[in-house]
Amino acid sequence: MAEIRHNWTKEEISEIYHTPLLDLIYGAATVHRENKDYAEVQISSLLSIKTGGCPEDCAYCPQAARYHTDVEVQALMSVDQVTDAAKRAKEGGASRLCMGAAWREVRDNRDFDRVIDMVKAVNALDMEVCCTLGMLTESQAQRLADAGLYAYNHNLDTSEDDYKRIITTRTYDDRLKTIENARKAKLTVCSGGIIGLGETIEDRISMLKVLSNMPKHPESVPINALVPVKGTPLAEQPRVPIWDMVRMIATARIIMPKTVVRLSAGRTEMSLTDQALCFMAGANSIFAGDKLLTTPNPDFNEDMQMFEILGLKPREAFKNGRSVVKTEKETLS
């Protein structure tokens, strides 16, 4: 069995990342096949519960108020709207609903009270509930956990050195602090990054080092390919080669053997064959549904056809138990 380590060096990660491609895929697939459920893919559905108008300056993001994109600002949804969307996602086969808000941080106000009610309502449908709401204090994380939140998504996006080039309105440390707060409240952590921002390979390796050296590996690591959006500073970034996506996924799989690695944004630009390579390299989760937060995602029926062709099956909700304590014992050391 692959050992769970928290002391990976940059050199080791770099060596894995640069392994000749087919050897790398083979190595990652071997690690992945030690998991008895390797053919299961966890499906999350994204829902933008509050869209646009964000005060942050994340260079990739269509929801930042300061960039002129086609995204229309939408106020926080009602609990009923969210419940309806969750029911539709569940009927479609999603085991997790991830609710995203274009906020810099959570504030202790009526909007947060409403998000707490959304979490309770979706949890009552027997779906795993994930939120991505920006920065969070420990007590806010605890309120979310008490309401039944399963996971908190907070991405590192790139390396600490590269962060200032992409975002100036908060620091890498702010990001790490929120992840710690989520951990203290015993939430499971979903944290990953984006490739194609103009980062170097070293930046990718540094980010993977931070993730894999956390006291506990994130239960899920999303690997996003940048979706370049008109009006954002990164609108003209060239598309990342599929090989870079495969290398990131395979490296994440090898250094965090039990983590769910999510093939996240960017799938509309990938062929079935491209995606098959990503699954071979150890990806075992996707976002399904026709939309990510504000940008398109592959058609749901096409995704199901892809699952059929590749012999993959959707993973049921709460496979590792409802609480992080059980997850800890069963999956992560």
52, 93, 192, 282: residue in contact with ligand DTB (rule CB under 6 A): 192
Residue in this structure with the two tokens 């399963």, named with its chain if needed? 150
Q: Among 165, 170, 171, 130, which Cα is nearest to 147's? A: 130
Q: Which two tokens stand for residue 101?
A: 């808000």
Q: Among 192, 255, 253, 252, which Cα is nearest to 222's? A: 192
Position 240 contacts ligand SAM (CB under 6 A): no
* Known active-site residue 262: yes
Are 232 and 69 contacting, i.e. CB atoms less than 8 angstroms apart? yes
Q: Where are the beta strands (DSSP E) in the chain?
A: 40-50, 96-101, 128-132, 151-153, 188-190, 193-195, 220-225, 260-263, 285-287, 313-314
Neighbours of 267 (CB within 10 A): 24
Residues in contact with ligand SAM, shown as a per-residue x/- string from 126 to 165 under the rule CB under 6 A: ------x-x-------------------xx-x--------
Position 112 contacts ligand SAM (CB under 6 A): no
Looking at the Cβ atoms of 73 and 309, the one nearer to ligand SF4 is: 73
CB of 103 to ligand SAM, least distance (A): 6
Number of amino acids touching ligand SF4 (CB under 6 A): 9
Position 224 contacts ligand DTB (CB under 6 A): yes
* Catalytic residue selected from 204, 247, 253, 262: 262
Number of amino acids touching ligand DTB (CB under 6 A): 17
Position 62 contacts ligand DTB (CB under 6 A): yes
* Known active-site residue 130: yes
Q: 34 burial class (0-12, 13-18, 19+ CB within 10 angstroms)?
A: exposed
**Taking the alpha carbons of 33, 44, 54, 189 in that order, is the dihedral positive or negative?**
negative
Name the helix (H) or strand (E) containing 279.
Answer: helix 272-280
* Known active-site residue 54: yes
Positions 241 through 280 that interact with ligand SAM (CB under 6 A)? 265
Residue in this structure with the two tokens 């989760």, named with its chain if needed? 285
Contact footprint for ligand SAM (CB under 6 A): 60-61, 63, 100, 102-103, 132, 134, 154-155, 157, 194, 224, 226-227, 229, 265, 293
Contact footprint for ligand DTB (CB under 6 A): 46, 62, 98, 100, 132, 153, 155, 192, 222, 224, 227, 264-265, 292-295
Which are the catalytic amino acids? 54, 58, 61, 98, 130, 190, 262
Contact footprint for ligand SF4 (CB under 6 A): 54, 56, 58, 61, 63-64, 102, 104, 134
